[in-house]
Structure 1
C-alpha cells in the first residue's frame, strides 16, 4: 500500500505541474505495482485523475483562469464518443489496446521532448481585454471537434486526454498557458466524470481500498504540483515528463 500511495502522490504532482499527463503515467504504474492489465488499471487511474483535476479546477475558478464555458461545451460534445470508446474497449483485445496506449505515450513524449513552440492558428478568437472566447460558429465547431476526439480517447484508453487538450488548445487559440492548464483540468474532470458514469452503468466495480488510497494521495500530490508549477522552469518540467513517458512506454512494451 505504501508503493500505491507513493504512486498516487507522484501522479498528482505530474497533473498539477503540467495540467495533463497524470492518467497516461498512472496506468502503467498501476499495471506494474498491482500486476493488472490495462483494462483493470485504467478505471482506477481515471477516477484518481478526475477527482484530482476537480480539485485543481476549483482552484482555477477561484483564480479566474478557467474558461468554463469552453470546458462545458467540449465535455458535452464528448458524451457520444465516450460511449463509442468504452464500447470499443470491450471489443478490442487487451494486447492491442496496450500497444496503442504505448504508442500514445511515445507520441506524447516526443512532443514534450522536442517542445517546439506551438504556433497558434487563432481559429478560436478570444476577447483582447477579458481573455475569454468570442463565441461564434467557428469557435463552437473547433472546440466541439476537440471534445469528440477527447471522448473517444478517454473511453477507449481510460486516460484523461490532457496530452491532447493542452497542445490542441495552444494550436487553435491564443489563451495564456495558465488558462490552458486550468481549463484543461476542468475538461479532464468533466469528461472523466462522464466516462466513470459510463463504466459504472456498464457494471464495473471499483476495489474500494486501492481506489481510496490512490485517489487521496493523488489529491495531495495535485496541490503540491500546483504549488511547484510556478517555481520550476517549464522546459525542465517538459523534458523530465517526456523522459518518464519514454521509459515507461518502452518498459511496458518489453514486459508484454
Structure 2
C-alpha cells in the first residue's frame, strides 16, 4: 500500500513539474515496480491522470482561459475512440502492447527535448494562418470547417491512445492546439487539461464497467498522485522550466528503452 501511494506521489510531482504529457510515466512505473501488465496498469494510470487534469481544468475555468467549446468538440471525438483503444488493449498480448507504449514514450521524450531548444521564429506574414483563429474583439474562436475537422482529428488520436495505453494524450493535444489555433499558451494548456479530464473520465467509466479497473491499486495510487501534484506545485515555480523538461525527456527515453528491451526479451 505504501509503495503504491509513493508511486502515485511521484507521478503527481512529475505532472505538476512538467505539465500535460507528464502522466505518461504512470503506466511504466506500475509495470516495472508492481509487475502489472500494460493492459491492467493503463486504467489505473488513466484515472490518476484524469483526476490531476480535472484539478488543472477547474483552475483554468476559474480563470476563464479554457476554450470550452473547442474542448467539448475534441473530447467528444476522443470519447468515440477511447473505448475502441481499450477494446484493442484488452486483446493484444502484453509484449506488443509494451513495445507500442515504448515507441510512443520515446516520441514524447524526443518531442519534449526538441521544445527545450531555441524557439522557432514566429509566424511571418507569408505563413499560412492556422485554421482556428481567435477573434480578439469577441474573445472567441471563429468556427470554420477546417477548424472543426482539425480539432476533431486531434481528439480522435488522443482518445485512441488514451484507451489503448492509459495516457491522457496531452503530448498530442498541446502541439495540436498550438499548431491549429492562435490562442495563448496558457489557454492551450488549460483547454488541453479539460479535454484530458473528459476523455479520461470516459475511459475510466468504460474500464470500471468492464471490470478492468483494480480499485485496490487505483485508490491509493490516485491519492498519492493528488498529494504529489499539490506538493509539486509548491516547488514548480522555483525550478528551471527547460532543465525540468530536459530531465523529463531523459527519464522518459530511459524508461522507453527499458520497456522496449523487456518487450523484446
Length-normalised TM-score, structure 1? 0.91
Task: Give the alignment partner of residue 221 of structure 1, picking from 211, 228, 232.
Answer: 228
Q: Which has the larger radius of gyration?
A: 2
1:17 aligns with 2:36: no
> Counterparts of 1:255 and 1:185 in 2: how far apart (Å)?
31
1:252 aligns with 2:250: no
Matched ranges for 1:194-209 at <5 A: 194-208=202-216
List per-residue Cα deviations over 1:42-77 (Å, max 9, x = no partner).
Answer: 111111111111111111111222112111111111
Specify the alignment match of 1:59 in structure 2. 59
Q: Secondary structure at the match of 2:143?
A: coil
Specify the alignment match of 2:240 in structure 1. 233
The offset of 1:170, in angstroms, is 1.2
1:4 aligns with 2:11: no
Specify the alignment match of 2:114 in structure 1. 114
Aligned positions, number: 255
The more displaced of 146-155 and 96-105 is 146-155
Indicate if the aligned counterparts of 2:40 and 2:212 stay in contact, CA closer than 8 A: no
> Counterparts of 1:132 and 1:228 in 2: how far apart (Å)?
34
> Counterparts of 1:181 and 1:160 in 2: how far apart (Å)?
13
Length-normalised TM-score, structure 2? 0.88
Task: Give the alignment partner of residue 188 of structure 1, picking from 196, 201, 214.
Answer: 196
Specify the alignment match of 2:126 in structure 1. none
Q: Secondary structure at the match of 1:181?
A: helix
> Counterparts of 1:168 and 1:221 in 2: how far apart (Å)?
28
> Counterparts of 1:220 and 1:129 in 2: how far apart (Å)?
40
Specify the alignment match of 1:90 in structure 2. 90
- For structure 1, the residue ranges without an aligned partner over 5 or more in a row are none
